[in-house]
Structures are given as C-alpha cells and as structure tokens.
Amino acid sequence: MSRLTIFGIDGLPEITPGVDLASLIASAAAAGGDDLRDGDVVVVTQKIVSKAEDRLVAIDPDDPLGHKPLVEAEAVRVLRRRGELLITETAHGFVCANAGIDLSNVDRGFAALLPVDPDRSARRIRDGLRGKAGVEVAVIVSDTFGRTWRRGVTDVAIGCAGVAAVVDLRGTTDALGRELQVTEVCVADELASAAELVMGKALGVPVAVVRGVDPTWLRDGSVQGEVVRAPADDLFR
C-alpha cells in the first residue's frame, strides 16, 4: 500500500533576483533534518520562482490598483470582468484571475509576474538539485487559482519537471474488470494541492516535499504540454 509523506521546508532566506533556488532549497532541507531523496516531488510556489527570476515590476505603492495596467498587458485575452476582477488568459494559456499577478508576499511597491516558462523553471530547479544535492527529484511550480462554480482557491501546477502532469489510465480496467471511462488524472495539480496543505499561505513556507509517489509517474512531464487545454477544445471560452 502506498504511503505519502508531505512536509514543508522552512528556513529559506528572503529570495532575491538571481539567487540559486536549488542550492537554497537543498540547504534548507538539510538544515531541517530532511535531506531530499531520489523520487521526492519538490513543490515550489510561484512567488519565490518569480522573485528568483526577477519577474518583479515596480508599481505605484500608493495606488491600490497600480498593478492593473500590468494585468492588461500580461493578459492575451480577457474572458470576464467584474469590477476590478479580470478573468484572463495568459500567454502560457492559463486562465486565471488578473493574469496571475498579485501583491502578497512581495515588497510594497512591486508586483510579481508569472515566470515566463514555468516548465523550464521547474527543469532548472530539478537540474540544480541534481547538481547540488546529488538527488533525482521531480519539481512542480505551484500557484493559487480560483475555479469556476466552486468557491475557494486551490493550488495547481503551472510547471513541472521529472513528473507526469497527467497520468493516462485509458485502457486499464477498474476493480470490477470494466474499462475505465474517466481516466486522465492531473496528478501534478493534485500534488500541488497536497503540498499546499502544509504551506499555509500566511506562514511563509514556500517549498514542500511529497515523498512516496508512484514511481511510474516520475517521467518527463510538462504542464504546458499536458494540462493547458486548447481554446478549440474548451467549452467555456
């Protein structure tokens, strides 16, 4: 029977542009007595990835809507508007509020944009952890999105490396021998949600580890390639 353990990695310093995130994560994990291991899934919140990649943009600190021009600039399409809330499509193809731009956990006077290529960001951290800590881990870059029809936000994957985004169970059979019907499971989003349970938005725990995942999921993966639904396939755009 598979058994997962999920724990946060705290003790990271404030992240500034150009830092080596992989080194900082490996050091903080080791300092906390939780050395990373082969097969771990390391979930890193978008905010520190954006900071490390210098995706901060200065805004008017006295204007509560100072980031709105950025939202309009980053969005390739606006699906809905209600008051100050814009539901947007980003250049990556993500549909989310305000083009993924927000101000929490960012210094006053700055807004954080999404990474340009979050799959690449994940690959870079994965490669760095292999080099710095000698471990073969998977990496997910997570962000917090709202959903249609359901209240409350959840964390989803915006990038991944070394782990499947979607696991295809088509053709396998259920416990009664029938062919399964609903079969493509977005494990990357489920892993991001699971990791959020130990992060706590307000607690400043920007990295968590999921240990014990099904080893068959640990292959090349891509959120961009596997999760983003083409507008033509989408019933709600």
Q: Exposed, middle or buried: residue 233 (CB in 10 Å: 0-12, 13-18, 19+)?
A: exposed
- Report in angstroms how near the CB of residue 237 gets to a copy of itself at its nearest: 7
- Cβ–Cβ < 8 Å for 118, 92: yes
**The binder of a copy of itself chosen from 95, 99, 113, 141 (CB under 8 A):** 95
Residue 224 is a binding residue for a copy of itself (CB under 8 A): no
Residue 24 is a binding residue for a copy of itself (CB under 8 A): no
Segment near a copy of itself (CB under 8 A); pick from 15-23, 53-61, 121-129, 173-181:
173-181
- Cβ–Cβ < 8 Å for 114, 55: yes
Distance separating alpha carbons of residues 72 and 68, to the nearest angstrom: 6
**The binder of a copy of itself chosen from 114, 187, 207, 218 (CB under 8 A):** 187
Q: Is 32 helix (H, G, I), strand (E, B) or coil?
A: coil
Residue 158 is a binding residue for a copy of itself (CB under 8 A): no
Size of the site for a copy of itself (CB under 8 A): 78
- Cβ–Cβ < 8 Å for 35, 235: no
Residue 84 is a binding residue for a copy of itself (CB under 8 A): no
Distance separating alpha carbons of residues 208 and 106, to the nearest angstrom: 20
205-227 exposure pattern, b = at least 16 Cβ within 10 A, e = fewer? bbbbbbbebeeebbeebbbbebb
Judged by beta carbon, residue 49 or residue 124, the one nearer a copy of itself is 49
Judged by beta carbon, residue 124 or residue 138, the one nearer a copy of itself is 138
**The binder of a copy of itself chosen from 46, 142, 144, 222 (CB under 8 A):** 144
Judged by beta carbon, residue 131 or residue 229, the one nearer a copy of itself is 229
Task: Tell me which residues in 36-65 interact with a copy of itself (CB under 8 A).
Answer: none
Judged by beta carbon, residue 1 or residue 18, the one nearer a copy of itself is 1
